[in-house]
Amino acid sequence: MPEPDQDRSERPSGRAVRWHRFLRWALVASLLVWLGHGALIDVLAGHSDRRSLAGEALSPAASDLLARCLEDLPPGPLVDLHAHLAGRGPDSGCWVNPRLLSPLHPVDWVRMRAYLSAAGLDAGSPDGDWIEGLADLARARQRPALHYLLAFDHRYSTDGQRDLEHSEFYVPNEYAHGAAEAHPDVFRCAISVHPYRPDAVQELEHWASRGVKLVKWLPGAQGMDPASPLCDAFYRALVAQGMVLLVHCGEEQAVDAEADQELGNPLRLRRPLEAGVQILVAHCASAGTALDLDVGGPNPPRVECFQLFLRLMGEEAFEDQLWGEISTVTQVNRYSNALAILLEREDLHPRLVNGSDWPLPAVNVLYQTRALASAGFITAEERKALNEIYHHNPLTFDLALKRLVRSPETGARFAPGIFTRLGPLR
């Protein structure tokens, strides 16, 4: 099993071209057969490594490092405001687009298999195993923790019609709520309601009456435009019910959202913010670029989404409403964009909250501790201990890594309060 930082490291013509194509497709076919048995997927997603569940102890060096990560945290449980559920149904009510389950769409198929493997599932696992596996890992942590389980609504058109063809997956609100009720020591529920649904406001009110406070959106995949007037009634209901919106901003890389990446533009949140909505920006918008809508005109420039997020965070009018959620900011595809700035901007730390984006912490290839050590965010000794902790419990690894990373320039770290903070959910 590789460590989470393992490196992966004349054009012919005529008959040679045909032979080259044959070899290429033969290689792809062979790879897909291998993937069908889960071998490579389990390597990349760490399926076999949950050593904390087997009662295996950490080495003294890793135990000491983990103790240092926990010793200065405020009292109360650890908080994870971003933990995904998924399932294939039908008994659970969950649904996955058939495209993600078909080898005829190899990229989508491999992506789905990787997520299932990271969550500890194989091709025949029932949906409930995702919940039970996450609960077991949460209870195996060295300190009590609360993980907010995210429902996920279908995509809808602007006329209120459900769009199954372009929906990625679906997790019913009832399913997430039931999981939280079954495991109240480690789980809370976050619903997902598309604002274009004809019953959107009624659905919000129903779940608010049952004590739910958090609502999840992923605009690029679900197709809602946060800047659309179609959302205004939804925003009024959020404010009236005292609910909080967790919204993905920046480029979406975990699900297919290519056609609507611009819906993740942080500046599109001005409308709900001006309506008084409390908003958590997932990942601090730490990937991709978007149009600078503040410039105006027919051809606004493209700017890093993270810089647009920082612009909003700097506006006094929103300082009591807008929060940043730091899941995935240590991933290999994100850390160079935002991590050092977030560490150094200690003025923002009181408005940051933690999330894991489970099951991504268990996707081995996304976390390159060698790269983080080379860039000066962690030491070589810390890297070795972190790799051991990763194989022990990916959730613990996610916390430990965020507690250890420091700015290569200033040495600044994330404030301890981030990891026990409920933010606007308090």
| Gap between the Cα atoms of 234 and 214, Å rounded | 14
Pick the CATH number of 46-425 from 3.40.50.720, 1.10.3720.10, 3.20.20.140, 3.30.360.10: 3.20.20.140
- Contact assessment for residue 399 and residue 331, using Cβ atoms and an 8 Å cutoff: no
CA–CA separation, 422 vs 426, rounded Å?
5
Question: C-alpha 154: how far from its chain's center?
Answer: 18
pLDDT score for 41 = 66
Distance of CA 402 to the CA centre of its chain: 15
Is the model's pTM score more than 0.85? yes
244 CB-side CA count, 13 A:
24
Q: What is the pLDDT of residue 15?
A: 52
pLDDT in the model for residue 29:
46
Quote the CA–CA distance of 353 and 147 in Å, as a whole number. Answer: 12
- Report domain extents, the chain: 46-425
The pLDDT profile of the chain, 426 residues, written as one tens digit per residue, is: 445 554 444 444 455 545 455 555 544 544 554 455 555 666 666 655 677 777 789 999 999 999 999 999 999 999 999 999 999 888 899 999 999 888 888 888 888 888 888 998 877 889 999 999 999 999 999 999 999 999 999 999 999 999 999 999 999 999 999 999 999 999 999 999 999 999 999 999 999 999 999 999 999 999 999 999 999 999 999 999 999 999 999 987 655 556 588 999 999 999 999 999 999 999 999 999 999 999 988 899 999 999 999 999 999 999 999 999 999 999 998 999 899 999 999 999 999 999 999 999 999 889 999 999 999 999 999 999 999 999 999 999 999 999 999 999 999 999 999 999 999 998
Q: Distance of CA 355 to CAs 70, 159, 246, 375, Å? A: 16, 33, 11, 23
DSSP 29-47: HHHHHHHHTTHHHHHHHTT
Q: Within 10 A of 232 (CB to CB), how many other CB atoms are there?
A: 13
What pLDDT score does 113 carry?
85
> How far is Cα 194 from Cα 411, in angstroms, rounded to an integer?
42
Say how far apart CA 97 and CA 224 lie, in whole Å.
19
What angle do the packed helices 394-404 and 380-392 form, to 10 degrees? 160
